[in-house]
């Protein structure tokens, strides 16, 4: 029976401890939660995905080299564990038995061999399909109507993560199509496959997908541009209260290192994604990334915010003429804060204790996560002068 049950139903009082007690950072929630119980996604997933940098130009050698680089650069040790193929890995047509077939010109050794290689490096392997008749590239089939067969194929290859897209969907609702794959994965013999739903937020998945997948895209595709990144951050923020362990909002993959934003813009992108408990899926070419990119992606203290046990999505709590404060509670009564200057000129951004729902007399230590320095005995407010599009990220610990 256990293997067949789709989800696990519970009535929970999520009583995350937070000394602040005010509304914005108060995580006391009483709600009925139906969780997708496959054992994956306790924390937001971390890894790499081929799409943002390579689109359809992928092959097995590049993926093996990427796995090598994730290990040799130290990213694997920091928690980046999934190596995920996106669109275009399969032939256009299924074989005579209806199976998906790895594209011979790009993956001559097959997907199982590639997954084995990735596993041999101590990493996990992810793949991509679509809840429609074809994927968005139209270069390979989707899994609609083949959910059980494809889930079993992926399981037999040792797949650990499935990203499931939404193109060519025959106008059947996502609510109807996604649970089929969800159930097929649970019954595939490899129950712990992380299920990443990619229906672009079109049917408000935050409201219903907790029982279906481990995360759900809340927006359309990110582009490697400041405008796109900030718009997506805001759109994802609206759903903050629905995220938590095993069911995360997904504002799309990282563009850090792809060249379309400045270092400070990428620092903001990474800080906000980490605070928002977004999946941290690197989207650049890790084989050739520069040292600045590696440094941004390797900040242990920022990663710790993303992976914090409490699993509460930080959110925008103040915005005045592009000067923003984003914050969220962490375990052990800590608070993560991002001061963010989204305006076009240098400015000072301040978070007052009242913004953070901290009592006025509260004294904290403020750890600057990018400077790696601590200000002790901070009271009343924390502020920083920031260049246009720059941010500061702190963890406040009550003294």
Output 167 or 235, the one with its CB closest to ligand GAL.
167
Q: What is the DSSP letter of 176?
A: H
Q: How far is the CB of 233 from ligand GAL (least distance, A)?
A: 16
Give 386-389's long-range contacts (Cβ < 8 A, gap of 24+).
386/339, 386/340, 386/341, 386/346, 386/347, 386/348, 386/349, 387/264, 387/341, 387/346, 388/341, 388/343, 388/344, 388/345, 388/346, 388/347, 389/226, 389/262, 389/264, 389/265, 389/268, 389/341, 389/342
Tokens of 211: 């029982």
Clarify whether 57 is annotated catalytic. Answer: no
In the window 214-273, what residues touch ligand GAL (CB under 6 A)? 221
Which of the following is catalytic: 221, 234, 365, 368? Answer: 221
Dump the DSSP string for 264-313.
HHHHHHHHHHHHTT--EEE-S-TTT--HHHHHHHT-HHHHHHHT-TT-PP
Please identify which residue in 165, 250, 265, 355 interacts with ligand GAL, judged by CB under 6 A: 165
CA-CA distance, 32 to 22, in Å (whole number)?
22
DSSP β-ladder status, 381-386 and 280-282: unpaired
Q: Is 86 among the residues that bind ligand GAL (CB under 6 A)?
A: yes
Nearest to ligand GAL of 27, 166 (CB atom): 166
Among candidate residues 350, 329, 388, 244, the one with its CA nearest the CA of residue 18: 329
Burial class (CB in 10 A: 0-12, 13-18, 19+), 105: exposed
Residue 221 CB, nearest approach to ligand GAL (Å): 5
Binding mask 44-63 for ligand GAL (x = CB under 6 A): -------x------------
Among 60, 87, 237, 308, binds ligand GAL (CB under 6 A): 87
Min dist. Cβ of residue 2 to ligand GAL (A): 32
Nearer to ligand GAL, 173 or 331 (CB): 173
Q: Torsion-angle region of residue 337: left (phi > 0), alpha (psi -120 to 50) or beta? A: beta
> Which residues, numbered 124-163, are part of the site for ligand GAL (CB under 6 A)?
135-137
Size of the site for ligand GAL (CB under 6 A): 10
Residue 324 contacts ligand GAL per CB under 6 A: no
Q: Report, in Å, the least distance between residue 51 CB and ligand GAL.
A: 5
> Which C-beta is closer to ligand GAL: that of 44 or that of 311?
44
Q: Is 68 a catalytic residue?
A: no
Q: Is 358 in the site for ligand GAL (CB under 6 A)?
A: no
3-state class (DSSP) for residue 360: coil
- Minimum Å gap between C-beta 217 and ligand GAL is 7
Q: CA angle, corner 53, sides to 47 and 55, nearest 5?
A: 105
Q: Which of 78, 198, 335, 390 is in the footprint of ligand GAL by CB under 6 A?
A: 198
Nearer to ligand GAL, 137 or 383 (CB): 137
Q: Which of 86, 160, 165, 250 is catalytic?
A: 165
Catalytic residues: 165, 221
Name the site residues for ligand GAL (rule: CB under 6 A).
51, 86-87, 135-137, 165, 167, 198, 221
């Amino acid at each position: 029976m256990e293997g067949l049950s789709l989800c696990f139903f519970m009535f929970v009082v999520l009583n995350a401890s937070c000394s602040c007690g005010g509304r914005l950072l108060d995580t006391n929630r009483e709600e009925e939660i139906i969780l997708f119980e496959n054992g994956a996604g306790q924390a937001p997933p971390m890894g790499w995905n081929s799409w943002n940098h390579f689109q359809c130009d992928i092959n097995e050698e590049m993926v093996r080299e990427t796995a090598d680089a994730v290990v040799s650069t130290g990213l694997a040790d920091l928690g980046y564990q999934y190596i995920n193929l996106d669109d275009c890995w399969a032939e256009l047509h299924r074989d005579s038995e209806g199976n998906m077939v790895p594209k011979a010109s790009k993956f001559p050794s097959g997907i199982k061999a590639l997954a084995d290689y990735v596993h041999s490096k101590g990493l996990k392997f992810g793949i991509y399909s679509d809840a429609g008749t074809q994927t968005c590239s139209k270069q390979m089939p989707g899994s609609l109507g083949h959910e059980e067969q494809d889930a079993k194929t992926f399981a037999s290859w040792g797949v650990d993560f499935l990203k499931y897209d939404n193109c060519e969907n025959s106008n059947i609702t996502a609510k109807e199509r996604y649970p089929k794959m969800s159930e097929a994965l649970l019954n595939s013999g490899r129950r712990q496959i992380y299920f990443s739903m990619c229906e672009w937020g079109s049917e408000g998945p935050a409201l219903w997908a907790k029982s279906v997948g481990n995360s759900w895209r809340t927006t359309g595709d990110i582009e490697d541009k400041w405008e796109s990144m900030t718009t997506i951050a805001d759109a994802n923020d609206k759903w903050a209260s629905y995220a938590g362990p095993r069911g995360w909002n997904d504002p799309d993959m990282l563009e850090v290192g792809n060249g379309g934003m400045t270092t400070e813009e990428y620092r903001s992108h990474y800080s906000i994604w980490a605070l928002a408990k977004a999946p941290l899926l690197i989207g650049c070419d890790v084989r050739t990334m520069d040292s600045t990119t590696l440094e941004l992606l390797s900040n242990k203290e920022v990663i710790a915010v993303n992976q914090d046990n409490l699993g509460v999505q930080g959110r925008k709590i103040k915005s005045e003429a592009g000067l923003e404060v984003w914050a969220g509670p962490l375990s052990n009564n800590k608070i993560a804060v991002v001061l963010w200057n989204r305006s076009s000129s240098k400015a000072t951004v301040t978070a007052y204790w009242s913004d953070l729902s901290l009592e006025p007399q509260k004294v904290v230590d403020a750890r600057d996560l990018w400077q790696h320095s601590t200000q002790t005995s901070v009271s009343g407010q924390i502020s920083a002068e920031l260049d246009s599009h720059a941010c500061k990220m702190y963890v406040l610990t009550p003294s």
